[in-house]
């Protein structure tokens, strides 16, 4: 029997990737990436900095291009490909008509950004998120308990309600709304008609308050109180969400022809990029899988049946969302790579390489700077998109490399805040496996993370961990591994190089973290009380100590 | 009788200027500038960002160069020059030996930065300033009442005590310490021997706690408690300080030869650049004269005899320091142009021209940013050099022009805080006359200042107001005008263009200023209590309103 391969499709913020993987050992034999054609690096922007959309046509064009290119590179026979997995960003819902066709492709809405896919980082629904949170607090507090206590502007219903309020013609034309993660497997398998659609529990559970304990999505009465038409939409949402060990269907003849893949191979239930990245990292109880990209996602799993408290500020606790049979816990930072990219691309104070080199030469505390990592709001633990960046400690001699390092440190402090919250609520973090472009390429960032957190930082062996996770899903639904544990054992691993914390650096960062928490709580919590008079002085003391 | 001219010498942070002025009408007929040869743009720096020194040899080389050049440009006969005035930065003390020679020129100390002139913005004496403040609070509270309640690290005794503590060999070799403003007139007139030296009340009164009410400089017992050797220095300081209507002496034959000026013309008592700039601005009761350079100085005068409370946080209230017969009130910001220069020269996010153009296109509040103007500490009203910069409100789309505008606005908020403090303590500000490079060249800054403060901004007619003030002093000591009021009437004026506040912009800035004060007080005052949770949200509301 010839070697079997599976294919993972990974839809990121700027581009789509295909990865072809040997199902026996995770060896990556072919890959291709395509940047979406619309917008700025694939993201359609507007004067309102909250707006971030994508054109769904890019998703399909991209699938065809990257699958064909990856197959050519892999030099495997199409017949050797046994299954497909798909991961995407999210919550990235798009409105579709009664036939399942995206409204973005409807000429009537060609110029209407509300008809596009609402990318995860679109925050136009801030007011609606607050409204949903307020209503749920009042009449459905259990809805919030599983998603950190606050419904986010990044999520499904905030976006849909904002569309209903600001572009009612688009809402009216939409039969329903589909997560990108569900829409792509549906198109590939010809199951995109709204009554045939399979939805994954990952998107539904983490972003749309879906929970089988209360009968699926939020009830029509609740949604109807937000807006009667939103209440009516409830009946057009799917009754049951599925885990990623299930196929949504089989590749259609049309898509087999467009891509060169064999007709009829199974396509797994879709999930978010980060969650399948967690699978590709080898997520298991005690292992924090951390995807560091434009934003981060921090995931853990806890076996179903474990007594688990609701964890305030955590994005979600959902049965089966990462691995079947486990609660998936999701935390994250709304911007990490995006903050570094902002500094390089908008402030134009140097390239990532130059700034990283300069930052590497600095000792902890030496710059006297301290930043908050909130340029795109705070997802965990404050769950507040209306927070913004902060930098303090600047003198007349502060350099770009010092600021760049302070921004890296700020994201590390944000990470530590997440780890602390998990452990405070009884979820021990025994090891941390990082993946994503920054973990892969920037050892300075990884060392700072180790020094700030005081914990070793491991890095996933694969440079395309999300796509690898999707390929693992493809292998599982193809039946080549009995379950995810077996598939992960065969197909995942970490690199030999582990970043271990330097105790001296960690001691300095403990002091800096106390100041970070003071700013974090002072600017982030209504309940905090005190003053900030010590912050600048203490930073100067730390700077003085670092310099002598 | 042929036309008479006077010459002003203006020693700035980076360069020295000579200006030759028609004493009848203030017409400027010749000028020249020379950047000091030592250091970076004339300032000798070190790894310690608090250190800023100058080489006194540059002062003399510079005098010769700029006087000769200005004379050539003016095409006046040397015999037509009737008097000289001198202004310098300060407090910029330098150690001299028993003959009055600077220790910086002594080979033993050629490589010792402690033997140089300690430039006004040198903050190495932060600990000593705190020590002086603490001791004065305990045993000589009246010393502090005239200098804002806190003795600054920028001032005379902080620097000398720091030298004594950290470079005792330099302190031991110094017979005494002389302000740059006193040393240059002394050298020009051959009165630089320590027992012949004339000291100006401007430097002594504002920076060295000199007051005739308590017998001049702080008493030996007080200084001796800081360090016995500092107590011994007291006897080697001059007993009496003078106002600028007095000459310190007459130009020596040597300096007449070096410069081409007539031998024997009078040289006025020296004063700080800002104070003679105030004179050049036409300072008078009710007129706030504001010099905007690397830092700012805000000056007012109140007739001697007026009942005047001590004003907390004001740098000084000194009889005769700006104009004879008036209390001189000095406030200021530790960095203004220096903050803009930092952003351009260190962060390298664009040129002043580009950034100013970009900033001009923005509406108040549109960026969502708010900054504190503390990159070099806060001189008024907090009197705390251990404060640092702060910027908040950054998103992933914040541009350099937005930050540049926020930095301009921060300095305007700092200015408003000074105006408010003066008026709260019974010194009405009836008009504001600005001068200095930024007032001269940057109408965007001036308009923002008008919009933030809600007051018209006038600009001094002269582009070299400090040097003009010095030339006025030269004219007064030469006897061509009976007093300063007559000399100012003849020789000063403001430009026709007045920047008037836009009421809509001012309304937005009132809201932003409330947030500035919240940050100012929260980070600046130990006594403040509250939280900062509203700040980022309110900025987003203001941004939203500005954009729609």
> φ, ψ for residue A195 (rounded to 5)?
-85, -5
What ipTM score was computed for the predicted complex, to two decimals?
0.85
Q: Is the peptide bond before B20 cis (omega within 30 degrees of 0)?
A: no
pLDDT per residue, tens digit, chain A (548 aa), is 689 999 999 999 999 999 999 999 999 999 999 999 999 999 999 988 899 999 999 999 999 999 999 999 999 999 999 999 999 999 999 999 999 999 999 999 999 999 999 999 899 999 999 999 999 999 999 999 877 788 989 999 999 999 999 999 999 999 999 999 999 999 999 999 999 999 999 999 999 999 999 999 999 999 999 999 999 999 999 999 999 999 999 999 999 999 999 999 999 999 999 999 999 999 999 999 999 988 899 999 999 999 988 888 887 789 999 999 999 999 999 999 999 999 999 999 999 999 999 999 999 999 999 999 999 999 899 988 899 999 999 999 999 999 999 999 999 999 999 999 999 999 999 999 999 889 999 999 999 999 999 999 999 999 999 999 999 999 999 999 999 999 999 999 999 999 999 999 999 999 999 999 999 999 999 999 999 999 999 999 999 999 98
Q: Where are the alpha helices (DSSP H) in B478-532?
A: 484-491, 503-524
pLDDT reported for residue B316: 74
> Cβ–Cβ of A398/B390 closer than 8 Å?
no
| Alpha-carbon distance values, A538 to A412, A534, B453 (Å) | 20, 6, 33
Name which of B47, B388, B402 to mutate to probe chain A: the one with the most chain A Cβ atoms within 10 A of its Cβ: B388
Residue A1 burial (CB count, 10 A): 4
Enumerate the residues of chain B whose CB falls inside 8 A of the CB of residue A547: 47-48
Name which of A379, A532, A535 to mutate to probe chain B: the one with the most chain B Cβ atoms within 10 A of its Cβ: A532
Share of chain B above pLDDT 70, in %: 100
> Cβ–Cβ of A529/B524 closer than 8 Å?
no
Residues 6+ apart with CB under 8 A from A399: A358, B346, B347
Of the pLDDT bands very low, low, confident and very high (cuts 50, 70, 90), residue B1 is low
pLDDT reported for residue A69: 98
Residues 6+ apart with CB under 8 A from B227: B161, B164, B165
Burial class (CB in 10 A: 0-12, 13-18, 19+), B65: middle
Which residue from A431, A411, A429, A409 is spatially nearest to A421, judged by alpha carbons?
A429
pLDDT reported for residue A313: 86
A388 vs B394, B400, B525: nearest CB: B394
Can you state the percent helix, strand and coil of chain B, rounding each to 5?
45, 20, 35
Residues 6+ apart with CB under 8 A from B47: A547
B396 vs A47, A376, A400: nearest CB: A376
- How does pLDDT run across B118-157, given as a tens digit for each residue? 999 899 999 999 999 999 999 999 999 877 788 989 999 9
> Cβ–Cβ of A531/B529 closer than 8 Å?
yes
CA distance B431 to A158: 52
Strands (DSSP E) contained in A357-474 are 370-372, 389-394, 431-435, 458-459
Which two structure tokens, joined as six digits, stand for B450? 């008008």
CA distance A197 to A183: 8
Enumerate the residues of chain B whose CB falls inside 8 A of the CB of residue A399: 346-347
A389 vs B392, B525, B532: nearest CB: B392
Which two structure tokens, joined as six digits, stand for A239? 């009754």
CA distance A81 to A71: 10
CA distance A454 to A499: 10
Asked if residue B335 lies in contact with residue A396, where contact means CB atoms within 8 angstroms, the answer is: yes
CA distance B19 to B17: 7
B456-462 mean pLDDT: 97
Asked if residue A232 lies in contact with residue A169, where contact means CB atoms within 8 angstroms, the answer is: no
Mean pLDDT score of chain B: 96
> Cβ–Cβ of A348/B346 closer than 8 Å?
no
CA distance B337 to B41: 15
Burial class (CB in 10 A: 0-12, 13-18, 19+), A235: exposed
The Cα of A85 is separated from the nearest Cα of chain B by a number of Å equal to 32
- How does pLDDT run across B296-320, given as a tens digit for each residue? 999 999 999 999 888 888 877 899 9
Enumerate the residues of chain A whose CB falls inside 8 A of the CB of residue B49: 395-397
B187-210 mean pLDDT: 96
Enumerate the residues of chain A whose CB falls inside 8 A of the CB of residue B533: 522-526, 528
| Alpha-carbon distance values, A337 to A44, A390, B47, B125 (Å) | 19, 16, 31, 40
Enumerate the residues of chain B whose CB falls inside 8 A of the CB of residue A41: none
- How does pLDDT run across B218-232, given as a tens digit for each residue? 999 999 999 999 999
A532 vs B523, B533, B540: nearest CB: B523
Asked if residue A297 lies in contact with residue A253, where contact means CB atoms within 8 angstroms, the answer is: no
Asked if residue A66 lies in contact with residue A18, where contact means CB atoms within 8 angstroms, the answer is: yes
B249-264 mean pLDDT: 98
SS (H, E, C) B134-153: HHHHHHCHHHHHCCCCCCCC
> Cβ–Cβ of B398/A389 closer than 8 Å?
yes
B254-273 mean pLDDT: 97
Which two structure tokens, joined as six digits, stand for A170? 């688009």
A535 vs B349, B397, B523: nearest CB: B523
pLDDT reported for residue A270: 98
Chain B CA closest to residue A528: B531
Can you state the percent helix, strand and coil of chain A, rounding each to 5?
45, 20, 35
Asked if residue A339 lies in contact with residue B397, where contact means CB atoms within 8 angstroms, the answer is: no
Asked if residue A471 lies in contact with residue A492, where contact means CB atoms within 8 angstroms, the answer is: no
Chain B CA closest to residue A532: B523
CA distance B175 to B296: 32
CA distance B414 to B381: 9
Which residues sit opposite A375 in a β-bridge? A377
CA distance A473 to A250: 14
Asked if residue A76 lies in contact with residue A142, where contact means CB atoms within 8 angstroms, the answer is: no
| Alpha-carbon distance values, B5 to A282, B86, B127 (Å) | 85, 15, 46
Name which of B39, B126, B531, B547 to mutate to probe chain A: the one with the most chain A Cβ atoms within 10 A of its Cβ: B531
Enumerate the residues of chain A whose CB falls inside 8 A of the CB of residue B391: 389-392, 394
> Cβ–Cβ of A390/B394 closer than 8 Å?
yes
Chain A CA closest to residue B51: A397
Residues 6+ apart with CB under 8 A from A338: A121, A294, A295, A375, A376, B396
B533 vs A342, A528, A537: nearest CB: A528
Chain B CA closest to residue A394: B389
The Cα of A527 is separated from the nearest Cα of chain B by a number of Å equal to 8
B522 vs A393, A394, A531: nearest CB: A531
pLDDT reported for residue B165: 97
pLDDT reported for residue A309: 85
């Amino acid at each position: 029997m010839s070697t079997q391969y599976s294919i993972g499709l990974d839809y990121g913020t700027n581009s789509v990737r295909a990865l072809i993987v040997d199902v026996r050992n995770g060896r990556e034999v072919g890959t291709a990436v395509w940047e979406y054609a619309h917008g700025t690096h694939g993201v359609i922007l507007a004067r309102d900095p909250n707006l971030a959309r994508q054109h769904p046509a890019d998703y399909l064009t991209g699938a065809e291009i990257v699958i064909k290119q990856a197959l050519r590179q892999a030099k495997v026979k199409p017949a050797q490909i046994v299954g497909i997995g798909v991961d995407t960003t999210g919550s990235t819902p798009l409105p579709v008509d009664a036939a399942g066709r995206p409204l973005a492709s409807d000429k009537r809405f060609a110029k209407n950004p509300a008809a596009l896919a609402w990318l995860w980082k679109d925050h136009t629904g801030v007011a609606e998120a607050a409204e949903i949170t307020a209503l749920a607090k009042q009449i459905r507090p259990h809805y919030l308990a599983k998603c950190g206590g606050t419904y986010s502007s990044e999520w499904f219903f905030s976006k849909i309600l904002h569309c209903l309020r600001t572009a009612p013609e688009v809402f009216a034309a939409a039969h329903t709304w589909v997560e990108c993660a569900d829409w792509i497997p549906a198109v590939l398998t010809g199951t995109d008609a709204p009554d045939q659609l399979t939805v994954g529990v990952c998107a539904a559970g983490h972003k749309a308050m879906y929970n089988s304990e209360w009968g699926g999505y939020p009830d029509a009465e609740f949604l109807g109180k937000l807006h009667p038409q939103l209440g009516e939409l409830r009946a057009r949402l799917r009754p049951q969400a599925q885990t990623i060990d299930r196929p949504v269907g089989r590749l259609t003849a049309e898509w087999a022809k467009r891509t060169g893949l064999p007709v009829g191979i199974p396509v797994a239930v879709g999930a978010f990029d980060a969650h399948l990245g967690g699978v590709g990292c080898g997520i298991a109880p005690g292992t924090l899988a951390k995807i560091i990209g434009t934003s981060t996602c921090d995931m853990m799993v806890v076996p179903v049946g474990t007594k688990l408290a609701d964890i305030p500020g955590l994005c979600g606790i959902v049965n089966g969302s990462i691995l079947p049979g486990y609660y998936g816990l999701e935390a994250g930072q709304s911007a990490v790579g995006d903050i570094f990219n902002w500094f390089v691309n908008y402030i134009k104070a140097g390239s990532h390489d130059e700034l990283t080199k300069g930052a590497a030469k600095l000792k902890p505390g030496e710059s006297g700077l301290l930043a908050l990592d909130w340029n795109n709001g705070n997802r965990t633990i404050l769950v507040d998109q209306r927070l913004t960046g902060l930098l303090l400690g600047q003198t007349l001699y502060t350099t770009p490399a010092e600021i760049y390092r302070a921004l890296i440190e700020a994201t590390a402090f944000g990470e530590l805040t997440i780890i602390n919250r998990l452990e405070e609520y009884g979820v021990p973090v025994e090891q941390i496996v990082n993946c994503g472009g920054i973990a892969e390429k920037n050892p300075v960032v990884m060392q700072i993370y180790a020094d700030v957190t005081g914990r070793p930082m491991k890095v996933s062996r694969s440079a395309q961990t999300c796509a690898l996770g999707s390929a693992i899903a493809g292998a599982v639904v193809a039946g080549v591994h009995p379950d995810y544990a077996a598939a992960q054992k065969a197909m995942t691993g970490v690199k030999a190089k582990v970043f271990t914390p330097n105790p001296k650096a960690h001691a300095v960062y403990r002091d800096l973290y106390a100041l970070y928490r003071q700013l974090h709580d002072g600017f982030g919590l209504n309940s905090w009380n005190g003053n900030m008079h010590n912050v600048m002085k203490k930073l100067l003391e730390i700077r003085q100590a670092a310099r002598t």
